Amino acid sequence: MGDGPTDDIPVGLEVQVDVAIASMVLSWLSEGQPVTVTVARDEFLFYVDEGSIVILS
């Protein structure tokens, strides 16, 4: 994710998504600790299009 180390986003997890200039910032709690990752906007949209990320309204 981004330019940092790679990591998996847990399946089935609801995350908060914020928009940055060219990326999407995803955040959630893991074992009570905040986790924040940055994903390139195009990569995020790719995963939305293929159904790996589902946006709830």
Within a domain: residue 22?
A: yes
In a domain, 33, yes or no: yes
Question: Mean pLDDT, the chain, as a whole number?
Answer: 85
Flag whether 24 is in a domain.
yes
pTM over 0.85: no
User: Does residue 40 form part of some domain?
Assistant: yes
Residue 25 falls within a domain, yes or no? Answer: yes
pLDDT tens, 13-39?
888 999 998 999 999 898 899 988 888
Distance CA 21, CA 18 (A): 10
- pLDDT above 90 (res 49): yes
Question: Would 26 be classed as within a structural domain?
Answer: yes
> 29-50 b/e with 16+ CB inside 10 Å = b?
eeeeeeeebbbeeeebeeeeee
Range of the domain at 34: 16-50
> Considering its fold, how many domains does the chain have in total?
1
The pLDDT value recorded for residue 1 is 45
Residue 28 lies in a domain: yes
